Every structure is written in C-alpha cells, then in structure tokens.
Structure 1
Amino acid sequence: MTVTKRALIVGASRGIGLGLVERLLEREWQVTATSRRSRAGELATLAERSAGRLQLETVDIDDPDSVAALHERLTGAGFDLLFVNAGTTHDRWETVADIATSTFQRVMLTNALSPVRFVEQFHDLVPDTGTIGVMSSGQGSVTNNTRVTGWEIYRASKSALNQLMRSFAARHPDDPRTLLLMAPGWVRTELGGPDATGTVEDSSRGVVDVIEARSGAGGLHYLDYRGQTVPW
C-alpha cells in the first residue's frame, strides 16, 4: 500500500511556489498551500481540479499573529515536507548607498527573518523522517559574489537566510531531519524578470526532484535545482 506524502508549501500563489504545488500534485502528494490572500487565482483553480488533494490556507509570514493563527489551525497535522518559498526583491541596481531604509528592512524581513521564524514555529509538525526547506538563491553565495550583477540587498538577504538556517541546524545537532537551502536558478517569474533563462516548470521539477532524492538523508544542504552543491 502506497503511503500518501504530505507537504506544506508556504508562498504558493504564483511563480515557483505554484509550480512546486503542481509538481507535487503530479506525484500524488497531499498538499497544503498558502498565499497571503484568500482563494488566490490560479491556486484556487488548481485546488478545484485536485480531487481534494490540495488544501488552501492564508498566511502573511511577516505577521506573527497570522503565522500563529495558521499554526493553531494546523495543530495535529503532520507534514513530510515543510517548504517556505515566500520572498520579495527590490530594484536591481539599488545598492546600500541609495536604497531606502524601509526597502532594506522589507527585503530582510521577508527573505531572511520571517522564513526562519516560520520554520521555528512549524518544525514541530514535521516528523524525524521529514524535510524542512527554504527557497534560497544562488545569489546568496558569498563565494560566488565576484562580479556586478545587481540585486545587492536581495543577495544579502539570501545570505542572511542561509546563515540563520545554519544557526537553526547548529542549535539542533541531533535533529535527523533533512534541511534544504534551495537555489532555483534564474527563472522567468515576476521576481526573476523577463530576461531570466529558466522556466517555472523546469525549476520546480528540479527542486522537487532534489527534495525527493534527499529525503531521509539528514543534515543541512545548500543545493541548486539540479542537485549540485552551491558554495556558501
């Protein structure tokens, strides 16, 4: 008898998040997917076609009260996969010299602090055999930051996300679960822009391939959507 796997995908209303939900449903997972708005567009349509395998929830990961309310609604649920995809960006060529403080704070809050706070609050719903992942970026690599490509604050926020997840792993040295920092590639989404070279379908399929391949492996891994290690 095949056991149905369960996933909680946070930030799934569009782009790669929506693609992750589609790929998991194709592989017979039971999925709970969140968006900031109730019954968000394509996600709602996907739920209607899912024969009950897709449950929709709303949460704003930057709002602690919203996160706490979602945790209360899901208390008692168990997820083989918790994956936080939510994120934001800024104007590509803004640097520390000219970015508004409010924009810096928004990007750091949404891309670094809020995802790991979410993991802190929800990891109790993931069993010892499960996987906890966050959507990082190849641009979070300090080692690879050797040329001017823009998105300096975005880069910093993803590096901070990686560091915070490494701290989480250090505080749980005996945790058998797999922890993943995923770099999805440069993808044509609202965040990635029209010049990006990758598609949502290829990226999301690769990310899910990696998630499934690393299931049960344990440890913290910084990987791209092809399964290759990204240098810190």
Structure 2
Amino acid sequence: MSERQALIIGASRGLGLVLADELARRGWRVIATTRQGGGELQAIADAGNGRLEVESLEMTSSEQLTALRERLEGRRLDLLFVNAAIDRGDLPINEVSTDMFTEVMITNALSPLRTLEALRGLVAPGGTVAVMSSEQGSIARNTAGGYELYKASKAALNQLMRSYATRHADDGQTKLLIDPGHNQTRLGGPDAPLTPQESIPAVVDVLEAQAGASGLRFLDRHGETVPW
C-alpha cells in the first residue's frame, strides 16, 4: 500500500499543529501550512525524518492559494483538511462592526471553501476533504447565548460545505465537517474542558474510519452526528 498523504491548511498552532503531528506519528506523509515560517511546526518538521513538510500560505489570498496549488502539482492527497478560524469576542450582533463581520465571515466561511475549490484536484478519488467546524455552528444546538458572530460564521461554513458537497456529489471523495469539541486553544480559551492532545487523536480516528464514505457528514470527535 502506498503512503497516505495529507495536506493540513492552518497548522501553526493549536488543533492544526497537533493534527499534523498526529498524522505524521501514524505514518502519514504530511504537508502543513502556516502563514509565518519557523515556530513549533517547523521544529516538528525538522525532527520528523521527512514525514512532515511545511508550506507557506495565507488562506485568504487567492494568489497564494494558486501558487500553493502550482507548487503541489503532481502530488496526490488522501486527505485535505482545512483548519482555520478566528474569533473577535463575545459581542451581540448589534455591536459587531461591518468590518469585523466581514473579516470573520471571510476567514471562517468563505476562505475554507475557496481553499477546497482551489486544491480539491489534488485529492485522489476515494480521498477525503474535511473542514474543522464546531458544535457552535449547529442551529439546532444554539440554545445558549453568546458568541453570535462566531456561531453565524460556522453555520455559514456548514451551509457552504453542504452546497460544495451537492455540487461535487459525483467526485468520489469523502466530505466531512468535524466538531473537535471545546479545546484549550487561543480561540477556545484556557478554561476549555479539552486539550488538543486529548481530542485530536479521536478526530484522526474518525477521519481514518470515514475514508471512502459517500456524502457529507457533520461529525464530532466520537464519530457521532452533530445536528445541523
């Protein structure tokens, strides 16, 4: 069996960093992107016997996406995972400026789908395209207040992924939205109940178990369906 190859978009820290490391530990050959060079991701790559390589990417830049696609020409991926999101605080929507709304929606909803469209041709038939979503994007579970803009951006991401899956229903690729749980990251905060080291191995179990499945699934780290 040939080596499994993955491309992780947004791996400089937090969930993406641990995801890239976990896949490499499991024998995957991993390409991981970061907006800035150096840091912990590069240190892991340097110690990884060639299993992890680092690429530069600002995901919101169409020009950089095109350049990355050209650099990776000829590679065939078993997994393309987009992990990127920002949060601009817990404001009611009437206090959110137009610029803030635009920034969060571009980063959390528009850019992940642009990334999938730009890079999906690298994914082999039978491979997986996945996006890091959140239970916060579930409309059915939005029963507590707070973080209205972030929740809206993740709901928009989920809807756009649904449209993507419908448009590319016949490409033979598995499509996943992943809810990793509430983690202690820069976005999740220090009081979150999970650490990436606890949640990401379970996420990778789900990714590996779902390989080859048809349709689009919105799953948590246990492989359970998250209601839309």
Return the TM-score normalized by structure 2. 0.98
Q: After the TM superposition, which residues 13-162 of structure 1 pair with which residues of structure 2 at under 5 Å, given as runs?
A: 13-39=12-38, 41-92=39-90, 94-148=91-145, 150-162=146-158
| Secondary structure of residue in 1 paired with 2:126 | coil
Q: Secondary structure at the match of 1:83?
A: strand
| Whole-Å separation in 2 of the counterparts to 1:135 and 1:110 | 12
> For each residue in 1:28-62, what CA deviation from the matched residue of structure 2 results, as whole angstroms up to 9, or x when unmatched?
100000000123x1001100111011110010011
The residue aligned with 1:4 is 3
Shift of 1:4: 1.2
**What residue identity is the alignment partner of 2:21?**
E
Cα-to-partner distance string for 1:70-120 (whole Å, 9 max, x where unaligned): 11111111110000001111112x021101211111110000000000001
What is the distance in 1 between the residues matched to 2:197 and 2:204? 11
Task: Extract structure 1 runs of 4+ deviating beyond 3 A.
Answer: none
Name stretches of at least 5 consecutive residues in structure 1 with no aligned partner. Answer: none
Paired letter, 2:85? G
Q: Which amino acid aligns with 1:19?
A: V
Task: Determine the C-alpha separation between the residues in 1 that align with 2:189 and 2:143.
Answer: 22
Return the offset for 1:210.
Answer: 0.4
Q: How many residues align?
A: 228
- Deviation of 1:176 after TM superposition, in Å, equals 1.7
Mapped to 1, the partners of 2:74 and 2:2 lie a distance apart of 18
2:216 to 210, 220, 223: 220
| 1:128 Cα offset (Å) | 0.9
In structure 2, runs of 5+ residues without a counterpart are none
Aligned letter for 2:108? N
What's the RMSD between the two structures over aligned residues? Answer: 0.8
Shift of 1:64: 0.8
1:140 shift after superposition: 0.3
Q: Quick one: distance in 2 between partners of 1:129 and 1:170?
A: 17
Q: Distance in 2 between matches of 1:133 and 1:102?
A: 28
Give the structure-1-normalised TM-score.
0.96
Say whether residues 1:165 and 2:195 are aligned partners: no
Superposition deviation, residue 173 in structure 1: 2.3
Distance 2:84 2:68 in 1: 15
Distance 1:28 1:173 in 2: 29
